[in-house]
Chains A and B, each alone.
Chain A
């Protein structure tokens, strides 16, 4: 597509439920990144992929968070047993390579109640 597409745009879930956030990167972009952004802060790295391989997941807060990109295109970030502290804007970005500027999507606003 023309840009990075994320869905849903907004997600409200009850504490303890699992959620799956989707990212559809720009066609042909090798690298895909997940960031989390709190109000008043810059994006905070979570994990990234080159093609289908997860290169770095050091930013995932704990083992309730996981991500996959099985065919090297669309990626899903899954949060299990959500907690209120998981509430944030989750942003996906893609790039042609790891050493090039990223294009960000509009994000998914997750609210855990």
Chain B
């Protein structure tokens, strides 16, 4: 089983739609969780951290389910500019806190 698994997509959604991505992780001792966005041929950029209680940033909502070991990202009112690959990132415990990236879910928002 991969340490971090994501559906690669692509998710093709019309403008204004709501779309949700899930990500599962295998290490129950994982401590921190993030969503990054990566545009084509660009570096990943931090979208948001994921907190145990869930958190929202504008149209984006992130949720963490420790019991089932998954995190989710919900995008409401999709914009063309949301088209990108969304990377799930899990950070472990311990002195180094190993960071593991998922392979990403591709989103294409269609006019």
User: Do the two chains belong together in a single complex?
Assistant: no
**Interface residue ranges, A against B (CB under 8 Å):** none
